[in-house]
Structure 1
């Protein structure tokens, strides 16, 4: 058996489709393993459909690498993050640096404080920004709520959701900028005008001719905790400087990072395709073996059931199941399995009908071999290559079917899939608005994943059918 397996693998690798399909499968599997082991899938899945989590991110922003092909450079969105911040003793401040290089101003600037704990008196968090020219301005002041009656230290704040401050729309920040321009640059400007034109324009600009031009350089964001007694710990501090481009794959209309959604789509698509095809092939092949060899009433019953299931339309049943039990992943897999086995059962039965009349099967019967032994030791090994090929052949069908159902809005909304990304893109008119980064990547990944298994199926064809070996060698 090992020699046959080794020989079959050599035949498979002798075809260019087999080699290409195997290489693509290794890449898809590697990306899926990376996603499962590195990314917090449960946390990302819960955040994916939470618009509040993505409120700070730019909406419908293209990926940052478009600047390589564009004369007009888009300002990249930058996130400054500090984790496990401890304010105690003489350490009462942290610094985060932003190297600003651009011809346009940021769209907004936000400060987020998540999971703050303190002892002693309630702290006051003050954010000060030092410009490249050395001038500093207070941008935000966050007063942490005092303890409630009966609450004992450490006092916890901002546990459920981070406290968010939109710095670029603060009236106090506008007054501080107006004072800076009046005192240092001899350019009187009202806070109202600063708010109307954008605080970030005056923060990251220098005066010229009654207006401002971008002031490139390193900006230092200093967060200071003013506290009489005690100490303060913050799980995470984030300053987001919103630009016109974001990440490797851009964002959608909600502001979600499409690169994250596309990465999560790898293991989900492979899981649905492989698991469903294995279950469907197992059920279909088993029933086909039993039906073809046993004959009689058993054969009749299995074939009539296969004909009945084969003629029931899948889409109306799936819509009914989704509305009855909800759009869950196990509902989709159950529907695929329930309506996917009949075709394979019918084909397997026809193969077994031919095999059971051969001389070696008759010889096995003559020496008293049981039906189970004949099926397992004599018939199954002859159809095993066909069954393995069917597993691989079914996989792209179920991947495409899941993507189509998600595109129709029938997929599991708790899991980001390529089909769901496409569905929201078309629903949000991404095609008409020119948001190509929202439509092309998931579509291309669906095609590549499906093509991978199609190429593997073509590579297995000379293994299953020796008559085509000469024509398929590389």
Structure 2
């Protein structure tokens, strides 16, 4: 009897198997990184709180007209984190305030990563003046300080939540573009790119079928680091009064605390919780980003 021949696997199914195996290896290496797992657990905790905020907190507690608590009362059994200058529970504000920074951070990061990836690949794969112009535009955005540019754009676009997302998204892409451009230039020197060009592959085919799959791991690793910067940028803009005052966020809490004079009044419970939450979330995203960077860049792992 002849042995049964193995079933023929289609190229698409083979690619799926390879991707699943790569994802499994990445997750295994990530789990071995204690700091990365610590950051992931912290982020999952904040995400669960943000998603369940409407269930955990009655929205009526956030309205100044319905607040019944004492003004700037210290922590107690009824108000574990005290109250603000309007008699609202700081804990309720903190829970509901987690939604805006995470939403703005993730959405703005998607915008900046898409712009940075497209510009980086296009400038790296293009020869002559097209690539040079894109590279100079990227450098021009890098030269301009982030905060003054963001403040000008926020003033022009208004203080809505969508405006804050757009401002952070269109000002945070240059560093990603430079990183992807450098990776694209490295990929261009590999033999399979030369073979594809000899076989008649166009620039669009090279960008989407050969360069993009090779830079995506670096894009994903850089995304978590970019989210940390976006969360910090949202807090900064709202703290300076350029956010939407109708939306509760950690930045608006800090703005209200300083406007009320919480520092001089000794109302630390109004000032410290939102600041600590911002620091913890930014640190958690940074830990996850560094863990992913170690995985996609073996040289970092070998040097430690």
TM-score range, shorter chain: 0.7 to 0.9
Q: What is the aligned partner in structure 1 of residue 71 from structure 2?
A: 59
Residues 291-323 of structure 1: CA distance to partner in whole angstroms, max 9, x if unpaired?
111222221221222222223334334444444
Residues 411-435 of structure 1: CA distance to partner in whole angstroms, max 9, x if unpaired?
2111111121112212222122221
Residues 39-77 of structure 1: CA distance to partner in whole angstroms, max 9, x if unpaired?
566x666x2xxx4333x3210012214xxxxxxxxxxxx
Mapped partners of 1:371, 1:288: distance in 2: 14
Give how far 1:467 is off.
2.8
When residues 289 and 322 of structure 1 are mapped into structure 2, their CA distance, relative to the original with a 3 A threshold, is closer
Q: What is the aligned partner in structure 1 of residue 11 from structure 2?
A: none
Residues 1-52 of structure 1: CA distance to partner in whole angstroms, max 9, x if unpaired?
11111101111111111211111121111111111556566x666x2xxx43
Aligned partner of 2:257 among 425, 445, 449: 425
Give how far 1:471 is off.
6.7
Give how far 1:286 is off.
1.1
1:2 to 2:27 alignment: no
Q: What is the aligned partner in structure 2 of residue 358 from structure 1?
A: 190
User: What SS does the corresponding residue of 2:163 show, helix, strand or coil?
Assistant: helix
Q: What is the aligned partner in structure 1 of residue 138 from structure 2?
A: 306
* 1:101-140 matched pairs, under 5 angstroms: none
Aligned partner of 1:469 among 280, 301, 304: 301
Q: What is the aligned partner in structure 1 of residue 122 from structure 2?
A: 290
1:454 to 2:286 alignment: yes
When residues 444 and 361 of structure 1 are mapped into structure 2, their CA distance, relative to the original with a 3 A threshold, is same
More strand by share: 1
When residues 322 and 345 of structure 1 are mapped into structure 2, their CA distance, relative to the original with a 3 A threshold, is closer
The answer on whether the counterparts of 1:12 and 1:462 sit within 8 Å (CA) in structure 2 is: no
When residues 4 and 321 of structure 1 are mapped into structure 2, their CA distance, relative to the original with a 3 A threshold, is closer
Aligned partner of 2:230 among 398, 411, 423: 398
The answer on whether the counterparts of 2:80 and 2:91 sit within 8 Å (CA) in structure 1 is: yes
For structure 1, which runs of at least 5 residues remain unmatched after alignment? 66-245
The TM-score with structure 1 as length reference comes to: 0.57
For structure 2, which runs of at least 5 residues remain unmatched after alignment? 1-18
Give how far 1:462 is off.
2.2
Give how far 1:371 is off.
2.4
The answer on whether the counterparts of 2:124 and 2:131 sit within 8 Å (CA) in structure 1 is: yes
The answer on whether the counterparts of 1:264 and 1:417 sit within 8 Å (CA) in structure 2 is: yes
Query: What is the number of equivalent residue pairs in this alignment?
Result: 286
Residues 326-374 of structure 1: CA distance to partner in whole angstroms, max 9, x if unpaired?
3211221111122211222122112212221221110111222332222
Q: What is the aligned partner in structure 1 of residue 214 from structure 2?
A: 382
When residues 261 and 16 of structure 1 are mapped into structure 2, their CA distance, relative to the original with a 3 A threshold, is same
Give 1 or 2 for the bigger CA radius of gyration. 1
Mapped partners of 2:216, 2:144: distance in 1: 29
More helix by share: 2
When residues 292 and 323 of structure 1 are mapped into structure 2, their CA distance, relative to the original with a 3 A threshold, is closer
The answer on whether the counterparts of 1:314 and 1:335 sit within 8 Å (CA) in structure 2 is: no
Mapped partners of 1:397, 1:438: distance in 2: 24
The TM-score with structure 2 as length reference comes to: 0.86
Q: What is the aligned partner in structure 2 of residue 20 from structure 1?
A: 38
1:277 to 2:109 alignment: yes
**Cα root mean square deviation, aligned:** 2.1
The answer on whether the counterparts of 1:12 and 1:460 sit within 8 Å (CA) in structure 2 is: yes
Mapped partners of 1:349, 1:39: distance in 2: 45
When residues 412 and 363 of structure 1 are mapped into structure 2, their CA distance, relative to the original with a 3 A threshold, is same
